[in-house]
Amino acid sequence: MPENNTTHRRREPAPRKSTRRRSREFALQGLYQWQLAGKDPTQIAAELAEASEFAKSDVPYFRTLLNGAIDNAEALEREMAPFLDRAASGLSPIERGILLLGGYELMSELEVPYRVVINEAVELAKVFGGTDGHKFVNGVLDKLAVRLRQIEVSADRPHSRSRE
């Protein structure tokens, strides 16, 4: 046995991002630009399309998310308002963008399970948001899922149904 007990582990490669994850990341970047600079979504999409990794995203899904979140921002913020501890305008642009993306997916992309929507939003918050932003995002979207996808959530959480 060697004198040095140090074990050498092979460094695992980072997991490959799905095309949808990349779409969400680009849509978040677009929402950030939209909030801070007030740019037109078409211009934002054109600028983001020039990024080297953009071709590895699901481009139609990116456009759906970006346009859907922007077009429905007011309605989404009204739906989220009861679950926020401050006005949506008072959130960081990253948290607000993630909540708009997740809210839009919960509202309109019904083929994506609500748990996937929340998980993806939490992952975005862990990477791009503040220290505990992912906890905030998780709490808001979990409550929003109950409101927007009551049947799906109830079916997934049998213990939450009233006992007979």
By the 10 Å C-beta count (0-12 exposed, 13-18 middle, 19+ buried), 146 is classed as: middle
10-residue block means of pLDDT along the chain (164 residues)? 50 69 97 94 96 94 97 96 92 96 97 96 95 94 96 79 42
- The amino acid that residue 42 corresponds to is T
Nearest residue to 125 (alpha-carbon basis) of 2, 3, 1, 25: 25
With H, G, I as helix, E, B as strand and everything else as coil, classify residue 74.
helix
Quickly count: other Cβ atoms within 10 Å of residue 117's Cβ.
24
pLDDT of residue 158: 67
pLDDT given at position 163: 40
Closest by CA to 124, choosing from 89, 143, 148, 100, is: 100
Question: How far, in Å, CA of 92 to CA of 162, rounded?
Answer: 37
pTM, rounded to two decimals: 0.85
Tell me the CATH class for 19-154.
mainly alpha
Listed by start position, the domains of the chain span 19-154
CA 149, 155, 159, 163 dihedral sign is positive
